[in-house]
Chains A and B, each alone.
Chain A
């Protein structure tokens, strides 16, 4: 059998099999675009590990749903359990707070989610595989109903963010001035973090935890290297997110790589491609200024 890395597959094959690949490839693009957009707030508010923590909290929610059904006789949909725990996980981030407080909270939520899931998992051994399936969907194949749910939610959240972006930006980047100007800062925070929790948990469910984390951080980091304003950053991060999701799927097909890591690595490559020249140009300017000062 030839080494896959030595013999990349033709992309013609990909497009010939479009019927087969359409949903996972487009799901990557849609989730990438949505989380790319929201990622600008995630990165600038310094909560980049939020999506990782949210995934773990969702895991605990699903585990608790199974536990309730098995041992307490209470039927709770695993998705509802995940949604409730996800909502509770983002609640502490509504409002201000110092970087240290936010970082500590992220650590606590991640640990509570992961340790809690493992602990509850010992009481629901038979369902642990189901938890993995429900939580960490696979980016290789996406069920039609999951794809439909993803694009519908993405469209709704995208439109909401297009409409409310000035409010979200004011509440995120100039909180005190926004409060003095009478903006409903707390409500804006609640809506922003609720949309973020929904987008992260849905992407995690549909494509997996790694792509969800990658989409919510890397496109925004790349966009912020070159954007000159917040609207520019939002538009650019949306586009780069879509590129990361779709391009990552193409890469995974061509080089027989796992989808999630291929998407994450493409995101890292975009960050390097956009930050590299910017930093190099800055270095050259500094050198020139130093040279001019010494002559």
Chain B
């Protein structure tokens, strides 16, 4: 089967200047990728390039035809001044391309209910989004992404500002979603503790050291350069 997204010699950066060495990767259905590294190390640049939000500096990137991608930005990107109940927020994930021209009644409202159910947020559907806890907000934003029934879901720091219990719950949810829906997931995070239990593949980046390690979890977590860089901070596979 063709990869959902594949890159060959992909260079990411700004104003034509590459930030990281060339990147070759291929994301397949059902895989969970962890994009890890310290803050300011190039994770967001790579993530935004993979999402198409930022132009690549060089190399090739291909997407499978008809690929549906969804994105969960950092929680802080959601403006609390914008009013919305949970169901309204999730419904925002339904529109693709020019579908906003269709009357709302023609949208697949069942997809909203399925996304709420999958993230266990059905009971919150009528609550104002702004009044939810951090963990609940993240679940709702994941539901919003799922409403469009994507093949590939990318999340930026989904557990920042979360306590360990909620963090565990969010990664368990992502793990279950990936298995139930054959959904490919890529999570960008500066935290590494979740990697051994939840990720099948890892991209580790650090622009200061020109470090890019890509591969399955065991290979990356045991790579010599990564061990030398992070020592005991890097979990064992």
Contacts and interface: CB of A to CB of B under 8 A. Distances in A.
B85 A229 contact: yes
A180 B73 CA distance: 11
Contacts of A184: 97-98
Given A180-B51, A181-B70, A170 B83 contact: no
A176 interface: yes
Contacts of A176: 51, 53, 71, 73, 77
Nearest to A164: B100
B85 A228 contact: yes
A81 B47 CA distance: 44
Interface string A201-235: 00000000000000000000000100111111100
A228 B98 contact: no
A182 B85 contact: no
Contact of B71 (A164, A177, A232, A233): A177
A177 B95 CA distance: 10
Given A179-B53, A181-B70, A183-B97, A233 B92 contact: no
Interface residues of B, number: 31
B98 to A, nearest CB: 7
B104 to A, nearest CB: 7
Contacts of B128: 228
A231 B92 CA distance: 12
A173 B78 CA distance: 8
Give the dominant DSSP class at A's interface: helix
Interface in A143-186: 163-164, 166-167, 169-170, 173-174, 176-184
Contacts of A227: 83
Interface size class, chain A: 20 to 34
Contacts of B70: 177, 180-181
Interface string B95-119: 1111011001000000000000000
A11 interface: no
A44 interface: yes
Contacts of A177: 70-73, 92-93, 144-145
B84 interface: yes
Contacts of B69: 180-181
Contacts of A167: 95, 100-101
Given A166-B95, A167-B95, A228-B128, A180 B71 contact: yes
Interface string B38-70: 000000000000011100000000000000011
Interface in B126-176: 128, 144-145, 148, 154
Contacts of A163: 101
Given A180-B52, A180-B71, A181-B148, A229 B84 contact: yes
B71 A229 contact: no
Given A164-B101, A181-B95, A183-B100, A173 B82 contact: yes
- Most chain B CB within 10 A, of A170, A174, A181, A231, is at A181
Contact of A174 (B52, B92, B96, B100): B92
A67 B72 CA distance: 52
Nearest to B69: A180
A72 B85 CA distance: 58
Nearest to A165: B100
A180 B47 CA distance: 12
B162 to A, nearest CB: 20
B234 to A, nearest CB: 30
B81 interface: yes
A96 to B, nearest CB: 11
A182 B92 contact: no
B95 A179 contact: no
A179 B52 contact: yes
Contacts of A173: 79, 82
B216 interface: no
Q: Sorted from nearest, which 4 A-B pairs have the closest CB atoms? A: A167-B100, A166-B100, A180-B71, A182-B97
Given A177-B70, A179-B52, A184-B98, 10 more contacts: A44-B79, A164-B100, A167-B100, A177-B73, A180-B51, A181-B93, A224-B81, A229-B88, A231-B88, A232-B83
5 contacts: A163-B101, A166-B100, A167-B95, A176-B51, A224-B81
Interface of A: 44, 163-164, 166-167, 169-170, 173-174, 176-184, 224, 227-233
Interface of B: 51-53, 69-73, 77-79, 81-85, 88, 92-93, 95-98, 100-101, 104, 128, 144-145, 148, 154
